[in-house]
Amino acid sequence: MVAGSLEETRRRVAAATQRSGRNVDDVTLVAVSKTVGPPEIMAAYGAGHRDFGENRSHELVAKAAVLPDDINWHFVGSLQSRKAKEIATSTAVLHAIDRESVLRAWAKTQSDARLLLQVNIAREEQKHGADPDSVVPLLLLAADLGLSIAGLMLIAPLADEAEDSRRWFRMLRQLRDELRTDWPDLIELSMGMTNDFEVALEEGATLIRVGRAIFGS
């Protein structure tokens, strides 16, 4: 079941990138495994998948300890500063840096993970993420701390239709493009989940975070 769902998701990814004139090899599909255990992850692993996402530090550490070493673990949840050291050795990509304290805590880990800033592009009060006006100060602080930021991340507002998310994906891409004048290494766009990843891909996503479409509800 997992292998079949993964294959269908890959097919949809390929179709969306083709529609937008992009190369599917430029996109990383992150299988968000936060709701499943090692057997389901190994089913996807057996189908050739290597990028998995977790949003709780203790779950990432526990799964990384018992699963193959060549898995690329993505931490996609909100990170408490005191948990930075806990996940540093296991994390390949940290998607959700959203404040100064997390940047400072991560700098102390000396991890070589790729780092993304989470932006609350819609300025939703209940959501994590840096205010768009805070992105430049965070980029400057990262540079002062010796950290390189590889891109931006977004969790779009809840929407009834995937198309309703397009404006937010486009805004994040435009912000990234503007920032690249001064930060040319700011390449990645982590945006799009099960309900809207095809629209995100059409708007330039380089990482998509898909759970239910692969592992079920």
Residues 6+ apart with CB under 8 A from 210: 9, 29, 30, 31, 32, 192, 193, 194, 197
Given pLDDT bands bounded at 50, 70 and 90, which one contains residue 127?
confident
Average pLDDT of the segment spanning 84-92: 97
Residue 159 has pLDDT above 90, yes or no: no
What's 112's DSSP letter? Answer: -
- How far apart CA 100 and CA 43 sit, in angstroms, is 38
Question: How confident is the prediction for the chain on average, in pLDDT?
Answer: 96
The arithmetic mean of pLDDT across residues 102-107, rounded, is: 98
The conformation of residue 89, written as its DSSP 8-state character, comes to T
Q: CB of 5 within 8 A of CB of 213?
A: yes
- The string of pLDDT tens digits covering residues 7-50 is 999 999 999 999 999 999 999 999 999 989 999 999 999 999 99
Contact 189, 204 (CB under 8 A): yes
What is the pLDDT, as a whole number, of residue 126?
81
Task: Answer yes or no: are the C-beta atoms of 176 and 152 closer than 8 Å.
Answer: yes
Query: With 90 as the cut, is the pLDDT of residue 180 above it?
Result: yes
Count of CB atoms situated within 10 Å of the CB of 137: 12
**Given the structure tokens 């700011």, which residue do they identify?**
186
Q: How is 149-208 classified by DSSP, letter by letter?
A: EEEEE--PPP-SSGGGGHHHHHHHHHHHHHHTTT-TT--EEE---TTTHHHHHHTT-SEE
Q: Please compute the mean of the pLDDT values over residues 63-80 and round it to a whole number.
A: 97
pLDDT (0 to 100) of residue 71:
98
pLDDT at 125 over 90: no
3-state secondary structure of 27: coil
pTM of the model: 0.96
**E strands, the chain, where?**
28-32, 51-54, 72-75, 91-97, 114-118, 149-153, 188-190, 207-210
* Percent of the chain whose predicted confidence (pLDDT) is above 70: 100
**pLDDT value of position 83:** 96
Domains detected in the chain: 2-215 (3.20.20.10)
Please say whether the beta carbons of 196 and 159 come within 8 A: yes
pLDDT of residue 160: 85
Give me the count of residues in the chain.
217
